[in-house]
Amino acid sequence: MGGNVRAVVQRVSQAKVDVAGQTVGAIQQGLCVLLSVGQGDGETDLRYIVDKIAGLRIFADGDGKMNWDVTQVSGAILLISQFTLHGDVRRGKRPGFTDAMAPDAARVWVDRCADALRAQGIEVAQGIFGADMQVSLTNDGPVTILLDSHKTF
């Protein structure tokens, strides 16, 4: 396994992340993205996940249909690194994380993802990599989409 980036994308009316009792990132309407980078992820994975996140048509258009992406509603993204999305529980009940990218490399990768989203004109707030974070949000809909750069779901 490994070699794939995973994301849980939630359409939100607001989201924030606190570290040590201080808000370090907050958005109003937009997307809360929990992102996990796998061993061996590369440029293709980065382009895939950025294009999918930026282009997800999960916001209501004028007719109430999910046709608009985050840019069309002037939304923002709260991007949270969450290596536990690579937790493997196929053998037993305690997750193994061997498929997750090593922290130093993953930190660079997550920042590159945020920069690539910003380059598309999207406001991006982030948590603090490796910190004990408390994420709170209001899932609008609720709408939640799972992404995997190897398209396994």
Look at residue 81 and tell me if it is in a domain.
yes
Answer left, alpha or beta for residue 90, where phi above 0 means left and psi between -120 and 50 means alpha.
alpha
Cβ–Cβ under 8 Å, residues 137 and 12: yes
Counting residues of the chain whose pLDDT is more than 90, the rounded percentage is 84
Nearest to 133 by CA among 38, 28, 33, 16: 16
Question: Quick one: average pLDDT of 100-117?
Answer: 95
Question: Quick one: average pLDDT of 72-92?
Answer: 94
pLDDT digits (tens, 9 = 90+) for 35-49: 999 998 888 999 999
117 pLDDT more than 80:
yes
Helices (H), the chain: 43-55, 103-119
pLDDT digits (tens, 9 = 90+) for 61-80: 999 999 999 999 999 999 99
Q: How many domains are contained in the chain? A: 1
The yes-or-no answer on residue 82 being catalytic is yes
Question: Quick one: average pLDDT of 93-115?
Answer: 93
Look at residue 1 and tell me if it is in a domain.
no
**Residue 42, pLDDT score:** 86
Domain containing 87: what range?
Answer: 6-148
Question: Residue 122 and residue 145: Cα distance in Å, rounded?
Answer: 19
**Residue 40, pLDDT score:** 86
The yes-or-no answer on residue 84 being catalytic is yes
pLDDT digits (tens, 9 = 90+) for 2-13: 478 999 999 999
Regarding beta strands 76-81 and 30-36, do their DSSP bridges make them parallel or antiparallel, or are they unpaired?
A: parallel
**Residue 1, pLDDT score:** 43
Look at residue 116 and tell me if it is in a domain.
yes
Look at residue 131 and tell me if it is in a domain.
yes
Can you give the pTM of this predicted structure?
A: 0.94
Q: To 5 degrees, how large is the angle CA 140–CA 26–CA 14?
A: 15
Look at residue 19 and tell me if it is in a domain.
yes
> What tokens does 107 get?
């930190």
Look at residue 130 and tell me if it is in a domain.
yes
Which CATH number characterizes residue 41's domain? 3.50.80.10
| Active-site position among 44, 72, 84, 134 | 84
Look at residue 119 and tell me if it is in a domain.
yes
Contacts (Cβ under 8 Å, ≥6 apart) of 26: 14, 15, 16, 17, 78, 125
Residue owning tokens 């380059």: 119
**Residue 151, pLDDT score:** 79
Confidence class of residue 153 from pLDDT cuts 50, 70 and 90? low
Question: Quick one: average pLDDT of 16-40?
Answer: 97
Look at residue 78 and tell me if it is in a domain.
yes
